[in-house]
Amino acid sequence: MKKKGTWLLPAALILSTALGLAGCGKTDTKTAAASGAAASGAASPAAAAATAAKFPEKLNIGYISANNSQTITGPEGWAQEQGKLQQELGKYGVKEFKYIPFPNGPNLNEAMTAGQVDIGIYGDTPAINGRSAGLKGRLINISQSGMNAWLVTKEGSGISSVADLKGKKVATSQGSYMNRYLVGLLKEQGLDKDVKLVHLLPPDGEAALARGEIAAYAYPSGSGPAILKKGGYTVIDEAKKHPALRGSSVTVVREAYLKDNPEFPKVWNQLRKDAIADAKKNVEPFYQLLAKTTGFSVEVVKESYPFDQWKEEDLAPDAIQLVEGTKAWLVQEGLAKKDFALDEWIYK
């Protein structure tokens, strides 16, 4: 049951909004020739695992981007930028790649429900809420684990601790992993009924803080360290101080797509694993790309995205444990519609 002072956005938003966002993606057809050339070379492990597979010619890839970037954030974006994502999937007949950035997870949920997204890379909280509300998608990997969040206030606000937020208004992006962290933090501090939470996307948080409209904002990776380096702001708490409240990013594929393309997860997970291994050998260029993708400095992205958050293992035990804990908490607090078995969500 929903408690006073807390919220999480339902999995479904207004359909027209999601469709409008889905229409803003970039379609990449430039690598078709390279894909065909690559197909004539030695087979990768993924190719060996799915030699007879044939995927649809068009793949719609959804992901979260605060600045509407046409490059996926993380190792998948590294593979995309290198052309390896297109080359590998081109071996299975994929010719068009539509990259669709979303400002928030619930928007991606609605687009996937509408069939506008085949594969989505986004926060565990909206993904769990989507599954709980009936979204027909399956988990194929935990792409990032242990994500931090920063609870930031304006210097001179008189707020130096979480306890100082009592009776005040705070904000974050509704339905996000930061939302889960903020709600959990307030409950830990016994403030869940004494603090008003409002929805603001990260780009709008700074202006609201500067005008004194909110007392604090829970920022995601990138945005948190970036605003702190500007000066004039201070952090009063971080998710990393509460390990169970850290976030994860997961990869979900539409069940209808999986039904027709059961070998897709093997191919996608192998190219992701290869991308992580390659990026690990090219850490500086990888972080330079991440900076370009997110719009933040290299210094900020290094602080925001420790490389060990990306695990080569599709479903590392500690990553599963963190997602399981998030799901249990959301259900317990009445913020997820209903419980479900994580094992049944995972595609095998």
How far apart are the C-alpha atoms of 97 and 95, rounded to whole Å? Answer: 7
Give the Cα separation of 319 and 66 in Å (integer). 24
Number of Cβ within a 10 Å radius of residue 167: 10
Q: What proportions of the chain, in percent to the nearest 5, are helix, strand and coil?
A: 45, 20, 35
Q: In what order do the strands lie in the sheet with 26-28?
A: 26-28, 96-102, 58-64, 119-123, 247-254, 137-147
Read off the pTM: 0.84
Residue 21 binned pLDDT confidence (cut-offs 50, 70, 90): very low
Long-range contacts of 238-242 (CB under 8 A, 24+ apart): 238/148, 238/149, 238/150, 238/151, 239/147, 239/148, 239/149, 239/150, 239/178, 239/181, 240/146, 240/148, 242/181, 242/184, 242/185, 242/188
The pair of structure tokens assigned to 80 is 């995309």
pLDDT in tens, 28-56: 654 443 444 344 444 555 545 445 689 99
Over residues 175-199, the pLDDT tens digits come to 889 999 999 999 999 999 999 999 9
Mean pLDDT, residues 220-228: 96
What is the architecture of the domain spanning 15-146+248-345? 3-Layer(aba) Sandwich (3.40)
Do residues 216 and 154 lie in contact, with contact meaning Cβ atoms separated by under 8 Å? no
Please name the CATH architecture into which domain 150-245 falls. Answer: 3-Layer(aba) Sandwich (3.40)
For the cut 80, the answer to whether the pLDDT of residue 329 exceeds it is yes
Percentage of the chain modeled with pLDDT above 70: 85
Bigger pLDDT: 58 or 21? 58
The better pLDDT of the pair 221, 6 is held by: 221
Residue type, 110: E
Every domain of the chain with CATH number 3.40.190.10 lies at 15-146+248-345, 150-245
Q: For the chain, what percent of residues have pLDDT higher than 90?
A: 82
Q: What is the pLDDT of residues 266-316, one digit of tens each?
A: 999 999 999 999 999 999 999 999 999 999 999 999 999 999 999 999 999
Q: Number of helices (H) and strands (E), helices first, in the chain?
A: 16, 11
Q: Report residue 123's pLDDT band, with 50, 70 and 90 as the boundaries.
A: very high
- C-alpha to C-alpha distance for 295 and 151, rounded to whole angstroms: 21
Q: How confident is the model at residue 26 (pLDDT cuts 50, 70, 90)?
A: low
Whole-angstrom Cα distance, residue 21 to residue 100?
8
Phi, psi of 150 (to 5 degrees): -120, 125
